[in-house]
Copies of this chain bind each other. A is one copy, B any other.
Amino acid sequence: MKIGILGAGQLARMLALAGHPLGLETVCFTELAMVPAACCAKLVVGRFDDQSALQHFAQQVDVITFENENIDVNVVEFLSGYCPVYPTSAALALTQDRLLEKQLLQQLEIPVGRCCAIHSLAELEKNSAAFNHDAILKTRRFGYDGKGQWRIRSLDDLAKIKSADLQEPLILEEFIPFDEEVSMIAVRSLQGQIKFYPLTKNVHHQGILKISVAPANSPLENLARDYMARLLTHFNYVGVLAIEFFCKGEQLLANEIAPRVHNSGHWTQNGAVTSQFENHMRAMAQLPLGETTLLAKTAMFNCIGSEPLMTDVLQIPYTHYHHYGKEARALRKLAHINLTYQDDQQFERGYQQLIDLLA
């Protein structure tokens, strides 16, 4: 069976690697030939606005998925004419727009922080004041890793926002002074079977995920599963879905949805019975889903902008390295490291060694 993936970055690479043991071949549609997935997947190189290239791609695969939600929905709809695409364009379209996403969450009674659409400076000023000038202005579309975001801490910060920035659709979100950030990752099959991974605790730095630790051991685990199930069922979703939440007291506030395997689930490669990558591939191939149980407490560290010496990492016991094969560039995710737990003391020691190494 052949699985098509739109994109050929590190997520496609790790999906393709997880597919081979299941006899699933991966074909990636990509605009560039020098890509992380090239080592273990076939590539169809073409432009996303070239329908004949897309058709050529669709005709050689049995099902299509994507590794990035910033794809033109029209592309997904066009490809759906040739073979199934999971997740569907409905889920994709919705998660591409922060405002529509927040509105759906509200409709499904999943709590979110206060927010509103911004079309003008006057609207920004008025709503920023309503949030006590403690807010984040975000582009509604195509933001990732903190890009397209302006943190507002005072009235003065509004002056930094240029009128050109206000030309695109924006959303203003009140700043949430959260206790911690967690994410819930789950997978759903075409038949409606759902498997939840343990809730994961995340640490961000400058808008980019830096560390994830599973399990979060949070009393909010069941609440997060409940919210996740509502979303998966609403979309008739197939594949892996991630929701990032802010925890505040006994409340979970949904912050973002990602309709794909997610960075905060990379720990599952070494810490769960079945990784998120294998489970996404199983869902695509209509194979029974694998257990999402924890094998061992695991911390995932992103290597951002540069990579440490692999020898320095692997001499720390119980570490695993996951290299992406990308050229180093500032703020770029180049690899991640998983540290699997054996005992608490060893885990803490390894955790601190990795913090120091990656500082």
Contacts and interface: CB of A to CB of B under 8 A. Distances in A.
Given A288-B314, A340-B273, A321 B40 contact: no
B287 A311 contact: yes
Contacts of A345: none
A331 interface: no
A323 B293 contact: no
Nearest to A307: B23
Nearest to A285: B310
Interface string A214-251: 00000000000000000000000000000000000000
Contacts of A288: 311, 314-315
Given A274-B320, A340-B273, A17 B21 contact: yes
A287 B308 CA distance: 13
Contacts of A20: 13, 17, 39-40, 323, 325
B273 A290 contact: no
A121 B284 CA distance: 61
Nearest to A287: B314
Contacts of A310: 22-23, 287
Nearest to A322: B21
A282 interface: yes
A89 B91 CA distance: 57
Interface in A288-328: 288, 290-291, 293, 295-296, 310-311, 314-315, 317-323, 325
A25 interface: yes
Contact of A23 (B287, B296, B323): B323
Given A20-B323, A22-B321, 7 more contacts: A25-B39, A274-B320, A286-B311, A287-B311, A291-B318, A291-B342, A295-B340
11 contacts: A17-B20, A22-B310, A22-B321, A22-B323, A23-B323, A273-B318, A273-B342, A274-B320, A282-B314, A288-B315, A290-B320
